[in-house]
Chains A and B, each alone.
Chain A
Amino acid sequence: MLDGIKAFLDILSKPQISFTLIIFIFPFVIPPTMWFEKWHRKLGLHLLWTRKGGLYMFAFITIILLLGFFDENFGKILGKPDNVPIIILIYSVFFFLWLSMSSAYKNDERMARGEKVEEDYGPDEKVLVWPDLVYIEMIALILMTVFLLVWSIGLPAPLEEAANPSLSPNPAKAPWYFLGLQEMLVYFDPWLAGVIFPTLIIVGLMALPYVDDNPKASGYYSFANRRASIFIFLFGFLTLWVFLIVVGTFFRGPNWNFFGPFEEWSVAKVVPLTNVNLSEYVWVKMLRIGLPSHPLVREVVGIVIVVLYFGLPPVILARGKLRGLVERLGATRYALVIFLALSMMALPIKMYLRWTINLKYIIAIPESFFNI
């Protein structure tokens, strides 16, 4: 029975399956449109953000982790001092998601009834920075320090032998907060996954206040007033960052192969993969004339695809569904928003292309270090 569950979870956690499931379930949990909202209610998913729902989810995560701790293979991964932060991450991401969503739902109900939101104390009632806020902050600071001290004494940092450039540990994992980036590096060229994407993430987050023109729900929690924005943000944060960190920690083993969490990390596991560039697909497999010698001619299909990917959707959407957004934001801000959104979606697209047709690079010009 237990083994059956474990085997099932192993299959489920294959990124091809788990990632697809998450993408499909996500809009029902965090509904971006009214259509999803309808199903969200019908399926009873809004109960997740009640106290009971939170407790159930908490119990669910704990049961899976307990199952892992007592498993020979998963236990080894979970028990590593390196991976303690990931467990804390799982719980805290879940907790804060629950906290903000349940506060938002409460406020939404209040507003629907025509009441004031919870954070609205009225014009006379004030919360003072000093002493109210500063005291809370100081207590949090002290508790955090205590926690870090106890942690660092209780679980000493895993020091290894002196670095040896000719010997990379197998698997060689980045620190936990970079595992999402390391996952991206599997699918993209180093300069994209290591430089451009992180820059875009940071710039994109910094741009948020400038591209957000919604005056509602500022200063208080609310979901109904900004469902699409919250959906997009959480999709990027939860599935493309937190989930990839979890994948990198639990599902990547020797030779950077995928392993189910309960599977044994065996160096001998062979996953035959032959990745092919788009240019090879086009010139060799479809047209059967061999690769042209000039790199630009060779990669012309890929270049066209990338240009179309970033060029067409903004124009089409501006004429259609997103016309209102263009009018509100103006052309420049609209272009920025949609460029960032398309760049974000490029990651899952590239992951699926790798999983389905073993595509290596859409544009591959290793001659001048340019690969997409």
Chain B
Amino acid sequence: MKRRKFITWLSVGWLAFAGATGGFFTMIIRFLFPNVLFEPPQSFKVGFPSDFQLNQVDERFKQSQAVWLVRTAEGMYALSTVCTHLGCTPNWLITDNKFKCPCHGSGFRKSGINFEGPAPRPLERYRIVLAEDGQVLVDKSVKFQYEKGQWDSPEAFLTT
């Protein structure tokens, strides 16, 4: 076999090898992303403002949507139940009037502000508005972070 022919075949071989490996890894990476995602819709209605007790943390949507709803005299807000430290789910301790994370002990006030433990920033709030039928609509696709000054935006707090 001539030298030139050999080199041609060699490069063809390597190219084929690179192609096969590349295709293989592309498929593996593709495999990491599921075809269908069964997630509850990101925005949902939670009922009328009057369904919520004043100054209480409402835990009805913690299980299904990972949201706490709090109604104060001025209005309502929706808090994410994801600890801003490493993402555990804190518990609402009604007697101590705080959210307390069981993983490293971060504590948050009812407003979501972090005040103890390692959590570096407050809990996130979600977009909360009134739907046409007068129900409260929570939209988890939009979130508001306190440390970025986003809690002042009108949709982070539903004035009732």
Contacts and interface: CB of A to CB of B under 8 A. Distances in A.
Interface of A: 164-172, 182, 185-190, 194, 254-257, 268, 270, 273-275, 360-361, 364, 366-367, 369, 371
Nearest to A164: B63
Contact of A361 (B89, B96, B120): B120
Contacts of B85: 185, 190
B100 interface: yes
Interface majority SS (helix, strand, loop, mixed), chain A: loop
A257 B105 CA distance: 7
A186 B104 contact: yes
A275 B63 CA distance: 29
Contacts of A270: 95-96
Contacts of A371: 120
Contacts of B90: 168
A186 B88 contact: no
Interface of B: 62-64, 66, 81, 85-86, 88-91, 93, 95-96, 100-105, 107, 115-118, 120-121, 147-148
A186 B116 CA distance: 10
Contacts of B95: 268, 270
A371 B64 CA distance: 32
Given A255-B100, A255-B102, A268-B95, A166 B89 contact: yes
A161 to B, nearest CB: 14
A283 B118 CA distance: 21
A168 B90 CA distance: 7
Given A190-B85, A275-B117, A360-B118, 8 more contacts: A166-B66, A171-B102, A172-B88, A185-B103, A187-B118, A190-B86, A255-B102, A256-B102
Contacts of A190: 85-86, 118
B116 A170 contact: no
Nearest to A189: B120
Contact of B118 (A167, A189, A274): A189
Nearest to B83: A168
B115 A274 contact: yes
A169 B102 contact: yes
A168 B88 contact: yes
Given A185-B85, A268-B95, A275 B116 contact: yes
21 contacts: A168-B89, A168-B90, A168-B91, A168-B102, A169-B102, A170-B102, A171-B102, A182-B103, A186-B105, A189-B120, A190-B86, A194-B86, A255-B91, A255-B93, A256-B105, A256-B117, A270-B96, A273-B107, A275-B115, A275-B116, A366-B120
